[in-house]
Amino acid sequence: MLTWLQRDSLQFPPLAKAMREPNGLLAAGGDLSADRLISAYRHGCFPWFQDGQPILWWSPDPRTVLFPDELHVSRSLAKLLRQQHYRVTFDQNFAAVIQACAEPRAYADGTWITRGMQEAYLQLHQRGTAHSVEVWSGDELVGGLYGLAIGQLFFGESMFSRADNASKVGFATLVGKLRDWGFVLIDCQMPTQHLHSFGARAIPRASFAEYLKCHLDLPTGADWLA
């Protein structure tokens, strides 16, 4: 039975109560307050829903993750990175990145990054929890991604690209930085061919929960504005 969250409580049901079909649906309701979102990620779930639906919270099993030391960079991408055709920055324009991620895609109907979601993650960015990666061609924003950094874990949310391989350059650059800063895992949530090409793989939800337990409160050397 699906658990409905109460607005006066930030508690989520145990991850083991998530549905098998659809895979990982854990709860519904609540709100998108910054405190609840942080509580959700620390618990091991994330919001994903369309306009007109209640807020839905998910914790799929297995979970797609990328270990920074396992990053795979193709020869063509490595060449592009060496050429420095694009310039990559961090936390320079979070609002523009999340708005671009919310734009309609040719392969999807609508977007799950609703206006309410954008406002919620902007609040997390203002708190220093959500971060953006910007990819520039000259002064034009041509790609990027955003996610949350909590302890030694990075929770990826969405990426966009307006130029060839721009999002790949941004992602590979981010993973390299996260590795150098001491992050141990990047949560990719759901499997895609794009992520698997970078070395992402599935681990059991119970293993993911153990990483949460062990690394959420440990420090890193992150310097997002360096």
Q: What is the pLDDT of residue 203?
A: 98
Residue type, 166: A
Which ranges of the chain would DSSP assign to H, the alpha helix?
Answer: 34-43, 75-83, 94-101, 115-126, 166-181, 193-196, 205-215
Q: How many domains does the chain have?
A: 2
Q: What is the pLDDT of residue 84?
A: 92
Nearest by Cα to 62 from 201, 217, 163: 201
Domain membership of residue 105 as a residue range: 62-214
Question: Do 115 and 165 fall within a single domain?
Answer: yes
Which ranges of 85-165 would DSSP assign to H, the alpha helix?
Answer: 94-101, 115-126
Question: Do 28 and 43 fall within a single domain?
Answer: yes
- CATH number at 6 reads 3.30.70.3550
Under 8 Å between Cβ of 149 and 131: yes
Q: What is the pLDDT of residue 97?
A: 98
Q: What is the pLDDT of residue 107?
A: 47
Under 8 Å between Cβ of 188 and 170: no
CB within 8 A of 60, min separation 6: which ones?
Answer: 18, 23, 24, 189, 190, 205
Question: Do 126 and 205 fall within a single domain?
Answer: yes
| Mean pLDDT per 10-residue interval, the chain, length 226 residues | 92 97 97 97 96 94 98 96 96 98 68 89 98 98 98 97 97 98 97 94 98 98 93
Q: Quick check: is 223 in a domain?
A: no
pTM reported for the whole predicted model: 0.95
- CATH number at 198 reads 3.40.630.70
CB-facing half-sphere around the CA of 13: CA atoms within 13 A? 21
Question: Do 27 and 83 fall within a single domain?
Answer: no
Q: What is the pLDDT of residue 106?
A: 55
Question: Do 10 and 43 fall within a single domain?
Answer: yes
Q: Quick check: is 19 in a domain?
A: yes
Question: Do 187 and 207 fall within a single domain?
Answer: yes
